[in-house]
Amino acid sequence: MTANLLNFDLEGLAAFCEGLGEKRFRATQLFRWIHQRGASDFDQMTDLARSLREKLKTRAHVAALPVISEHISADGTIKWLFDVGDGNAIEAVFIPEDDRGTLCVSSQAGCAVGCRFCSTGHQGFSRNLSTSEILAQLWFAEHSLRQRQGTSERVISNVVMMGMGEPLQNYTALLPALRVMLDDHAYGLSRRRVTVSTSGVVPFIEKLAADCPVALAVSLHAPDDALRDQLVPLNRKYPLDELLATCHRYLASAPRDFITFEYCMLDGVNDSEQQARQLVDLVLRHSNGRTGWCKFNLIPFNPFPASGLVRSPREAVQLFANVLVSAGIVTTIRKTRGDDIDAACGQLAGDVKDRTFVAQRITAQRAKPVQIPIRSGPSESPRNARRTIQ
């Protein structure tokens, strides 16, 4: 069986070349051909010795993932559905903007975390992706976009590991993929422009800080453990105080001077003014009274029938943001992109065989509605007093 060279970072490719009896510098040449030029035919790699090209033809290949479908949104967002075998399909999304091109990449076929507001989580989990399957999404998107735009310049300037799956639960495959994204002989992306999004896998946040610190985004979604236990089940293992302390320590290695906290706005569940004040208190408690160490990204919920949840009204989102901003916390409200093709945040579902029965567990949980009381403050409306998640 031949090796897919998309599976290797530069060190791994150098070891592979040495195994063929070749010098390590050949790996750098090969790396550039694959990632910078998008070549998959070894005969195209004209500065490689003919003897090496012949060896590669029998021992290696460069393979993208089969594309099942492509959908283009009215706003220019592109979503690809890729076949990863055994009845599983994953999604990647390209978001063009005036000053950047962002690719949202999947790390797993499905997701085992089971967040209540995420369509991927409701579909269940099949398996981790390999390094080659993670990188194949970037390799295909970058070079196909260059071809259709008629340019040799880089099209994708930012990568966010925010597609299907929990990246840090697939750390062994994620780490070499990140190193390829950052390598100047490959995509040459800045650490500030590669973001790993996590629901809070504390031990691997610490490993990422030591091994390959890139920008970090943490899916928070609640100001207290009782609510976050319901929305993000991983919180039962790594509660908020432990997670926030780890995030604050990550700053010592981070390429930016802040951590991004993602917060999906759910009507009557986590969007009250009092809960915004609780978030401020949480941030202050972990930073000796400083608020500048983090940024909040408020995300309009993208509804899907199985969630039993509703998007917060625009007015509620703005009031929530005002509380954070007044406390000195940089806060943005994410603009929804690609929702007409189900490519917006929380909508990526692909098609996976749920071997962990996550979907069944969520369905059983929804059969027992859970009321989450929210302590009322004088400025709160009755709408925010209580919400039943069902």
List residues with catalytic annotation: 91, 345
Q: Give how far the C-alpha of residue 217 lies from the chain's centroid of Cα atoms, to the nearest Å.
A: 8
Structure-block tokens of residue 55? 């060896």
- Determine the Cα–Cα distance for residues 216 and 161; give it in Å rounded to an integer: 10
- Return the H-helix or E-strand segment holding 326: helix 314-326
- Determine the Cα–Cα distance for residues 241 and 238; give it in Å rounded to an integer: 8
Structure-block tokens of residue 259? 């951590």
- Determine the Cα–Cα distance for residues 104 and 109; give it in Å rounded to an integer: 14
Structure-block tokens of residue 56? 């590669």
Residue in the block written with tokens 């099949």: 126
Whole-number Cα distances in Å, 75 to 79, 163, 368: 12, 19, 39
Give the closest residue to 374 by CA, choosing from 278, 264, 302, 284.
278
- Determine the Cα–Cα distance for residues 134 and 41; give it in Å rounded to an integer: 20
- Determine the Cα–Cα distance for residues 347 and 310; give it in Å rounded to an integer: 14
Give the closest residue to 92 by CA, choosing from 146, 148, 144, 40.
144
